[in-house]
Homo-oligomer: A and B are copies of this chain.
């Protein structure tokens, strides 16, 4: 399984006695001696910090900011490990990014595990290590958590729910209701990598040019945008439902239509080809390290300078504008016609986050 190399350090070995417990059992979730062993030997060494070590019913910390942001997501992705990441890395990045989209810097995370009986202990260990590594790299900490185990056939390996609290660092609110007519819409890079990477791993399809997930934390790039004193009206990460769904939701909550230009939306050849093969539209495919920014025209050049100074946003660009009144999301196609984009009614790509 790919993704393993990323999360296992050379020479490190799983700290639970694997000969005794090669798989997670129901007793690991019963709150008794095995729950304690799992926490002490497998979780705490990877995630330890003064708040988590306290082992209280909750973590207590100073507020440190006038305003806080608070977000939660459950991760049910299959497979648990995929090219470019795993469910643990995804959970931390997803939480950091949701907070960043509110103009907040993530500080405290909670981690709740729902494990299916029979999950290989070593898989769980790799994923917890990945959570720890991603946290350390982004200077955030898991300060409280929970572990439940459900019977074989009542779960699917591992579900993670992560919640984050962040400190608002933006001077102005960053939210859908601040979107204005004639604002410009930027996207931070090429779209569709995450969904295609997960789907190809799930289906066991190897493309000539392998597609890796774009999964990445966006805190540094958002911090730089805010520090550049740009009047950002709204940001949104392009996760489940992709770019199109994110913009349609912003049309609905802002009460303003939007127009995007198909030719301006970056899509790699590899993603484009794979999407064709799977019968998917890249506009609706999930990303986990891409976001859009809505801001006044005067700020565009400076924003693109900041974005392009980061490797993961080197392909960022202007893709559209906000219209004068209420309306749908419309796309000017490469052929010059225009087409309305709507929320999809079916399940395009289940279990990609």
Contact = CB atoms under 8 A, between A and B. Distances in A.
A40 to B, nearest CB: 10
A85 interface: no
A67 B165 CA distance: 13
Nearest to A155: B155
A218 to B, nearest CB: 11
Interface in A121-163: 143-146, 148-151, 153-156, 159, 161, 163
A150 B146 contact: no
B102 A60 contact: yes
A63 B60 contact: no
A114 B72 CA distance: 12
Contacts of A348: 30, 32
Interface in A30-49: 30-34, 36
A319 interface: no
A245 interface: yes
Given A56-B102, A66-B62, A29 B350 contact: yes
A168 to B, nearest CB: 6
Interface stretch (A2-10, A172-180, A265-273): A172-180
A231 B65 CA distance: 29
A342 B113 CA distance: 25
A115 B226 CA distance: 37
B108 A176 contact: no
A276 interface: no
A81 interface: no
Given A58-B98, A155-B156, A71 B236 contact: no
B98 A161 contact: no
Contacts of A56: 101-102, 175-176
Contact of A114 (B60, B76, B176, B245): B76
A318 interface: no
A73 interface: yes
A205 interface: no
Contacts of A69: 58-60
Contact of A176 (B55, B70, B72): B55
B114 A33 contact: no
B153 A153 contact: yes
A163 B110 contact: yes
B30 A176 contact: no
B66 A176 contact: no
Interface in A305-353: 342-351
Most chain B beta-carbon neighbours within 10 Å: one of A31, A33, A237: A31
Contacts of A29: 347, 350
Interface of A: 25-27, 29-34, 36, 54-76, 97-99, 101-104, 108, 110-114, 143-146, 148-151, 153-156, 159, 161, 163-166, 168, 173, 175-177, 236-237, 239-241, 245, 249, 253, 342-351
9 contacts: A57-B237, A58-B98, A60-B103, A60-B168, A68-B68, A72-B144, A72-B145, A75-B148, A154-B155
